[in-house]
Amino acid sequence: MKKFSVKALVSIGMLSSISYVLMLLNFPVPPFPNFLMVDFSDIPALIAALIFGPAAGVLVELFKNIMDYFMTGSATGVPVGHIANFVAGILFVLPAYYIYTKLKTSKGMTLALVIATVVMSIVMSVLNYYVIMPAYTLFLNMPAMAAPELKTMIVTGILPFNIFKGLLISLVFMLLFSRMSTWISRQQYKSESI
Amino acid sequence: MMEKMIIGRYVPADSMLHRMDPRSKLILVFLFVCVIFLANNSWTYAILVIYTLVMAGFSKIPARFLIGGLKPVLWLVIFTFFLHLFLTKEGEVILDLGLFKIYEEGLRQGIFISLRFFLLILITSLLTLTTTPIEITDGLERLLGPLKKVKFPVHELALMMSIALRFIPTLMQETDKIMKAQTARGVEYSSGPIKERLKAIVPLLIPLFISSFKRAEELAVAMEARGYRGGEGRTKYRQLSWSKVDTGMLLFLMAVTALLVVFRG
């Protein structure tokens, strides 16, 4: 991790704050069950990554989840849900960042976000199957779900939800990016010149 | 809501737990989360319940705050309770409902798991109710201090974390203000088609980002003007002090752990 300037440290803190506030403003989306909520907390992380580099994006995702854990706690003791959210966040932010830095156009950003959505949804489905769901059942001491049952739940529930959530975030981010791209590149230039 | 966020869930009071060092409280919670998995019969669960109630008594926090913390997980607990009740098929049948049979073991498991849930939530609530988020961050910074030797940027992480915590209420206020300003212009946030609502998010986010970057710049300049140059040789306004109570509480938990090991089946 390269050394951050004081400005970068403070800005990452602020963006984490925004990310946490946006996480609180979450909402369910009609066709999906109520506990699958959409929020836009990944957008500040993406902006952090674009301006201060990939490590900043990871940090924003990290702080957002640590703060939420402090404020609400976790039923399983070990914060499985928060770790899952953190992993999903970086799986979305990092691919989007690396593809965008290769292409550097507005169209490239769209492509990057779509690919990031696909990467995030697929990897999260695999992780859900092998790690997250088993961890939940372990800590809740529930009888483990049968493999085919779990598979249908992931393929029909979690995978489409993650794709939908990713696309929704991408859409809002593109709306934002089309207006803020000059501002973002100016901030980038400023943070490099310090 | 706004006032509540300023201090997290902290409830000011003058109690033994409030005066404890955040470091020892963090260690205690961490150990408790591990120790709770030792319990596997009525005796051990009884010991843990007594321990938790004693700690809650020490905290002098009104019971309604503790119960309030349990509410968000109530449904999850009820769900797992019934899952255990209906899916465990061991021991004697104690109730025959025709379609379902309730087994002794299922009832036992259901009660134990619900208890474990409640205890975990209560103990973590006790931490956040008696410690401000800033104190927790300070405690974490000191606990992770040794990692500085392997070039892990503990101080920088703690600084970012405290700034993030400090600005949550400010940014919430600002979000609220912008939302009201946009609502006055006819924007609907809580109703209307989803497409319109998504479009409404953008004019909320842009001012939020711009103003927070402005604020970050001002804060960074102010910090540098006052001679901030990282964690090296920095002194602290809030000093952490490890007292006898902290050592006592750790010994108390160890005694409880020893009892658990003896009584577990």
DSSP element (H, E) containing B140? helix B133-143
- Write out chain A residues lying below 8 Å of B133, CB-based: 67, 70-71
> CB of A80 within 8 A of CB of A47?
no
Alpha-carbon radius of gyration of chain B: 24
Please indicate if any CB of chain B lies within 8 Å of the CB of A142: yes
Q: Which of B73, B120, B171 sits opposite A21 (nearest CB)?
A: B171
Predicted local confidence at residue A35, as pLDDT: 67
Residue scoring higher pLDDT (A109 or B87): A109
Q: Are A71 and A17 in contact (CB under 8 A)?
A: no
A34: pLDDT confidence band, cut at 50, 70 and 90? low
A189 close contact with B: CB closer than 8 A: no
Inter-residue long-range contacts of B166-171, CB under 8 Å, 24+ positions, other chains counted: B166/A13, B166/B134, B167/A13, B167/A14, B167/A17, B167/B212, B167/B215, B168/A17, B168/A20, B168/A21, B168/A67, B168/B5, B168/B6, B169/B2, B169/B5, B169/B6, B170/A17, B170/B215, B171/A14, B171/A17, B171/A18, B171/A21, B171/B208, B171/B212
Q: Cβ contacts (< 8 Å) between A75 and chain B: which residues?
A: 73, 76-77, 117, 120-121
Q: Name the token pair of B65.
A: 């705050």
**How many interchain CB pairs under 8 A, A with B?**
144
Residue B107's pLDDT is 83
Task: Compute CA distances A175 → A186, B84, B145, whole Å.
Answer: 18, 47, 42
Task: Locate the DSSP E strands across B126-182.
Answer: none
pLDDT of residue B75: 77
Search chain B and give the residue with CA nearest A41: B205
Residues of chain B found within 8 Å of residue A6, distances taken between Cβ atoms: 220, 223-224, 228
Q: How many CB atoms lie within 10 A of CB B213?
A: 20
Contact B113 A141 (CB under 8 A): yes
What does the block give as tokens for B88?
């465990």
* Burial (Cβ within 10 Å: 0-12, 13-18, ≥19) of residue B206: middle
Is A194 within 8 Å of chain B by CB?
Answer: no
Domain layout of chain A by residue ranges:
6-193
In chain A, residues with a C-beta closer than 8 Å to the C-beta of B194 are 29
Tell me which of A9, A42, A185, A193 to substitute to probe the interface with B (most B C-beta atoms closer than 10 Å): A9
Average pLDDT over residues A57-72: 87
Task: Decide if A78 touches B, using CB distance below 8 A.
Answer: yes
Pairing of strands B101-103, B93-96: antiparallel
pLDDT reported for residue B3: 46
pLDDT band of residue A74 (cuts 50, 70, 90) is low
* CB spacing of A17 vs B136 below 8 angstroms: no
Domain boundaries along the sequence of chain B: 2-131+241-263, 155-225
Mean pLDDT of chain A: 84
- Say how many Å lie between the first and final Cα of chain A, rounded: 17
B113-134 pLDDT tens trace:
888 888 888 888 888 888 888 8
Percent of chain B past pLDDT 70, that is, above it, reads 95
What are the residues facing A38 on neighbouring strands? Answer: A27
Window A:36-75, CB contacts with B under 8 Å? 40, 43-44, 47, 59, 63, 66-67, 70-75
Residue A124 has pLDDT above 70, yes or no: yes
Residue B216 pLDDT > 70: yes
Residue B123 to residue B70: CA distance in whole angstroms: 11
Q: Alpha-carbon distance A110 to A173, whole Å?
A: 9
CA distance A20 to chain B (A): 8
Decide: residue B155, CB within 10 A, 0-12 exposed, 13-18 middle, 19+ buried.
Answer: middle
Instruction: Say if pTM beats, i.e. exceeds, 0.80.
Output: yes
Note whether B209 contacts A16, CB cutoff 8 Å.
no
A residues 80-119 lying closer than 8 A (beta carbon) to B: none
Residue B249 burial by Cβ neighbours in a 10 Å radius (0-12, 13-18, 19+):
buried
Above 50 in pLDDT, residue B6? no
Say what percent of chain A tops pLDDT 70: 89
Sort out which chain B residues have CB atoms less than 8 A from A11's CB and list them: 212-213, 216-217, 220
More reliable by pLDDT, A14 or A149: A14
Element (H, E) at A44: helix A42-52
Nearest residue on chain A to B151, alpha-carbon basis: A1
Task: Report which residue type is found at B41.
Answer: N
CATH number 1.10.1760.20 is the correct assignment for the domain at A6-193: yes
Q: Is B228's CB within 8 Å of A63's CB?
A: no
Determine contact, residues A90/A48, Cβ cutoff 8 Å: no
Which sign does the torsion angle of CA B63, B64, B69, B72 carry?
Answer: positive
pLDDT tens for A157-184 read 788 888 988 998 999 999 898 888 888 8
Average pLDDT over residues B200-225: 90
Across the interface, whether the CB atoms of A10 and B76 are under 8 A apart is answered no
Reduce the DSSP state of residue B67 to 3 states and report it: helix
Tokens 């503990």 identify what position? B154
Indicate yes or no: CB of B216 within 8 angstroms of CB of A14: yes
Q: Is the pLDDT of residue B168 over 90?
A: no
Q: Using a CB–CB cutoff of 8 Å, tell me whether A77 touches chain B.
A: yes
| Identity of residue B60 | K
Query: pLDDT (tens digit, 9 = 90+) per residue, B173-202?
Result: 888 899 889 889 888 777 777 777 778 888
Higher pLDDT, B186 or A193: B186
Whether A70 and B215 lie within 8 Å, measured CB to CB? no
Question: Is residue A62 over pLDDT 90?
Answer: yes
| Residue in this structure with the two tokens 């009740």, named with its chain if needed | B85
